[in-house]
Amino acid sequence: MNLPVEPGTYILLLHLPVTQRIIVGRLGELHFPCGYYLYVGSALNGLHHRLRRHLRHDKPLRWHIDYLRREAEIIDIWYALGREHRECPWATALAAWAEVKPHVARFGASDCRCTTHLFYSPTRPASHALTAPLRLVEPQLELGRAFGEPLPGQKTGGEGPSPS
pLDDT in tens, 43-99: 999 999 999 999 998 899 999 999 999 999 999 999 999 999 999 999 999 999 999
Residue 35 is part of which domain span? 8-152
The answer to the question of residue 84 being in a domain is yes
In a domain, 1, yes or no: no
Residues 68 and 12: beta-carbon distance below 8 Å: no
Tell me the CA distances in angstroms from 28 to 18, 91, 106, 107, one per residue in order: 19, 22, 12, 11
Residue 162 lies in a domain: no
pTM over 0.85: yes
Residue 119: pLDDT above 60? yes
Note whether residue 161 is domain-resident: no
Report if residue 132 sits inside a domain.
yes
Does residue 118 lie in a domain region? yes
133-154 pLDDT per residue, tens: 999 999 999 999 887 544 444 4
Number of independent structural domains in the chain: 1
Instruction: Note whether residue 163 is domain-resident.
Output: no
